[in-house]
Chains A and B, each alone.
Chain A
Amino acid sequence: MLTDIYEVHKALFEDGAQTVLRAQENRYRVVEILKGNIVSNSRRESKGISARVGKNGLFGFASIAECSDEAAKKVLKAASENVKLLARHVGGNEIILPPSYGTGRVPTNCDIVDTQQKRIIDACRKVDDHIARKYPDLDSRVVYYSEDSQDRIIYTSDACDGHLVTPRCYIYVYMSLKTKDGNPVELFKALGGFGSFDDNFSDVEQYYPDLEELYKKVKDKAEGVYAEAGYKTVVLGGMMGGMLAHEAVGHTVEADLVMGGSVAGPNLGKRVASDLVSLVDFAHTYNGERAPLPVYMDDEGIKAEDAVLIKDGILTGYMNNRETAERYKMKPAGNARGWSFSDEPLIRMRNTCVLPGKNTVEELIESVEDGYYLIDSGNGQADLTGEFMFGVTCGYEIKNGKLGRALLDTTVSGIAFEMLKTVDMVSNEVEWSSSGFCGKKQQMAVGMGGPHMRCKIMIGGR
């Protein structure tokens, strides 16, 4: 872990400015086995220190790839000079500093345990050998281990201080087969989650049932059909619900995008979904347990709390940094985060989730006469208008309440606040995903989740 030597530098913080000093180390581990060949085998560390100084509505930011006393002094000075330089170009700007939301120290949540590369390779090879032995008819397979863990120390002028650690690691397994026409189809699954290697992969055999399920689905997909294009009744699986929560709604309620004209601006306090839909960006705890990627404090020193975005179908809030919270007269909930030591904090999601309802998954499927069950998505994008697109990598037909043939890759799209009004059944359990990155100038690790939902949606086909 980083050595916490920076408290003394608070004495150097400029009066009348809001200052954050952050030392951070990101570590990455990668092993990739493509059809039995190790094509990637790497370890990377990136560490340094940054300062952000805010004054009169302007910010100066500076970072150096060094964690030392001297580096702390340098970045504080450079950030102050940057804000002064900016002020010279912009002129007088007497914006009142956002208020303090409390000071104190957020306790360290855990430690990062490093693992020898050999153990990572051995675990990946064990998974790969198992797949090769058990599923010899696969056309191709990839086993990809990825770890990206963060360790950060934060000191602020008028908010909280803390030393926080966020380890996560995954093994992604890709399986591909050919259809009878010779066209390859592929599916993947991410195994693992929050924590270090030993937390997730001390016994990789625990994941063999997941591999069996993935293999079955890719076999089904090799016999799959194209979806019929059009506006259809569908059951969205939990992963799709999570993608919807993050991409289609989450981004539109990030306050910087609200300022940029997102559809959430004029809809605050209005109905944007059926009353079965509630959406929360959880900070660190869901249902009494640790959320997939817990955030206890953000990079402005704001102690993290849940941000309730939609309650019973009504848009109730945005995700903010300190400055936008002041603008929209809301309380910041700890959404300002930067990915690496050299990244300034931006408004980012944490664990964004549609809350569960009362029905069972079976009830949802049985209720559809002619439609689709859309289980998994490989990607998704959305616009300021809430127009979204998700790639569907795994799905099935539903005919008379029963699952039919598997689907080949397709896409669904719609306008979020219109589509959410068509949600008329919500399942009673939530599925989470935490392996993804969100891209918004910088990358960011995010969690997303949701229940199954019955709704109407545009589906693409041939």
Chain B
Amino acid sequence: MNELREVADLFDDILKDKKIEKYNYVLVQSGKQELNVENGEFKLLRTVYDYYTSLKVYKDNKMGSSSGNDLSREALVKLAEDSDSAAQSSPEDPCHDIAPDQGKEVFRQGIYEPDMDKFIERIQECLDTIKKEYPKVLVMAAVGSYDRSHWISRNTNGTEFEDYSGHYSFYINISASEDGVNTGISGAYVEVDNLDKPFMDLGSMRKSLEDISNSIHTKSLDGKFDGTVILTPAAAAQFISMLIVNYISDSVIIDGTSLWLDKVGEQVASDKLTISKKPFDERIVCGERGTQNGFRAEDVTLIDKGVLKTHSLTLYAANKTGRKVVKNTGWDLVIEPGDKSLDDIIKSVDKGLIMGGFSGGQPGPNGEFSGVAKNSFYVENGEVKYAVSETMVNGNLAEIFRNIRDISKELVCDGTSVVPYIAVDGVVISGK
């Protein structure tokens, strides 16, 4: 493992020789062992050994970057030359900068030596359980992957981060059939740093299998109504991702198209909603430690009880707009739970949907969304009635988060996020 440090030292020498005085880079050595399952059976075992090198050069207020996957001296020289040349070709923009000195730190996370036999057994155990307990379900594809990485990042302000991390991940793509009728695709994903528990007991595995088993015979809704939509944790994470992109990310703040441009400190959502990115939360596996800008990562709360605490800006965007940089460029999403059970939330719904996924694009800058409700169930008078097909949902992203009816006390933790069910009002639901 000292090899990477030697490469980093060599790279510093090369950059010095090239008279490049301001830069930051990351060198990554990674490995993957991946088991692929097709139609419920083991099909392919894949091994990947890779490198990643990325350098940003800053010269006379100009920035250029280059990346590759070769640690040889020749490749590093080319990387330095390409970045330097890209910087010289670029127009001046003093907002491109590197993070101030963060000191030196070594991070170790997860499991660095995998137990592949145990991992394969856990996967087989999960497939066997599905066959036995969910006979209508077909595992179209499943992928179990052990991923390991070792990286070093340095900048010319003195920061040096070194990170060793390794984790297992497992996902299933499933469908179900009965009497010649098939469902669409559903799935579940978990990421773990130990193999103590069966995959079946983690994340939303069981719930996804139950839901797809109950989704074979669907009905389409008649007409159009304004209803309540209970977003499952997967759908809630999808909508929150769209919320972040649409209202608080770099590009919409730089170009000024965000409708929350001047809303920091103001109530933008229901006071039931608290959204954080918490790489240090113990439920998050291998969370971010060093940001893409070269800061030591921090937990950050974006929306606290409905109040926008900060935009989610990188160093460049912060410099460009005179706003605060957020020392967090990962996902690591944590949504605070509510105090009602999912069952009680369902009982309170007059007419609406439990929506497992949203098939639609990123809304435009105005937040209007329109798409198909996937893996969804119709709810009427507090009861789940049937699975739906050909059902569209329309609404406004900002509005639905202002109209949160309830948040469940149940949370789904899949290793990358911790998210409850979120019930929102004011969604137009239309059938055929």
Residues of A within 8 A of B (CB): 34-35, 37-39, 41-48, 57-66, 78-79, 82-83, 85-86, 89-90, 116-118, 121-122, 125, 139-140, 142, 176, 179, 183-186, 229-231, 256-257, 259-263, 266, 342, 344, 378-379, 381, 383-385, 387-389, 391, 393, 408-411, 413-415, 441, 458, 460-462
B251 contacts A by Cβ under 8 Å: yes
Tell me which of B41, B359, B432 has the highest count of chain A C-beta atoms within 10 A of its own C-beta: B359
Indicate which residue in A38, A78, A176, A409 contacts B91 across the interface (CB closer than 8 Å): A38
A260/B69 contact (C-beta < 8 A), A379-B362, A414-B390 known: no
B66 contacts A by Cβ under 8 Å: yes
For window 111-168 of B, CB contacts with A under 8 Å fall at 120, 124, 138, 140-141, 143
A460/B50 contact (C-beta < 8 A), A117-B64, A411-B392 known: no
Residues of B within 8 A of A (CB): 35-36, 38-39, 41-51, 63-70, 82-83, 85-91, 93, 95, 120, 124, 138, 140-141, 143, 173, 175, 177, 180, 182-185, 224, 250-251, 254-257, 259, 316, 320, 359-366, 368, 370-372, 374, 389-390, 392, 394, 428, 430, 432
- Using Cβ atoms and an 8 Å threshold, which residues of chain B touch A44? 66-68
Judge whether B428 and A89 touch: CB under 8 Å. Answer: no
Indicate which residue in A140, A379, A458 contacts B361 across the interface (CB closer than 8 Å): A379
A41/B63 contact (C-beta < 8 A), A59-B44, A458-B390 known: yes
A261/B140 contact (C-beta < 8 A), A89-B42, A387-B389 known: yes
Q: Give 20 A-B pairs besides A35-B254, A61-B47 with Cβ atoms closer than 8 angstroms.
A: A38-B90, A39-B251, A39-B316, A41-B87, A48-B50, A65-B51, A85-B45, A86-B42, A183-B366, A185-B364, A229-B392, A230-B430, A260-B141, A263-B182, A384-B184, A385-B182, A409-B363, A411-B361, A460-B370, A462-B428
- Using Cβ atoms and an 8 Å threshold, which residues of chain A touch B368? 408-409, 462
In whole Å, how far is B395's beta carbon from the nearest beta carbon of chain A? Answer: 9
The residue in chain A whose Cβ has the minimal distance to the Cβ of B32 is A342
In whole Å, how far is A110's beta carbon from the nearest beta carbon of chain B? Answer: 23
- Using Cβ atoms and an 8 Å threshold, which residues of chain A touch B87? 41
- Complex Cα gap A42–B141 (Å): 35
Judge whether B361 and A60 touch: CB under 8 Å. Answer: no
Indicate which residue in B175, B180, B372 contacts A260 across the interface (CB closer than 8 Å): B175
A461/B394 contact (C-beta < 8 A), A44-B68, A257-B140, A260-B39 known: yes
- Using Cβ atoms and an 8 Å threshold, which residues of chain B touch A231? 432
- Using Cβ atoms and an 8 Å threshold, which residues of chain B touch A39? 250-251, 254, 316
- Complex Cα gap A462–B396 (Å): 10
A413/B365 contact (C-beta < 8 A), A48-B69, A140-B256, A389-B359 known: no
Judge whether B140 and A42 touch: CB under 8 Å. Answer: no
- Using Cβ atoms and an 8 Å threshold, which residues of chain B touch A34? 251, 254-255
In whole Å, how far is A142's beta carbon from the nearest beta carbon of chain B? Answer: 8
Judge whether A391 and B68 touch: CB under 8 Å. Answer: no
A59/B43 contact (C-beta < 8 A), A44-B66, A389-B371 known: yes
The residue in chain A whose Cβ has the minimal distance to the Cβ of B317 is A39
Indicate which residue in A230, A344, A384 contacts B182 across the interface (CB closer than 8 Å): A384
Judge whether B175 and A261 touch: CB under 8 Å. Answer: yes
The residue in chain A whose Cβ has the minimal distance to the Cβ of B395 is A462
Judge whether B140 and A186 touch: CB under 8 Å. Answer: no
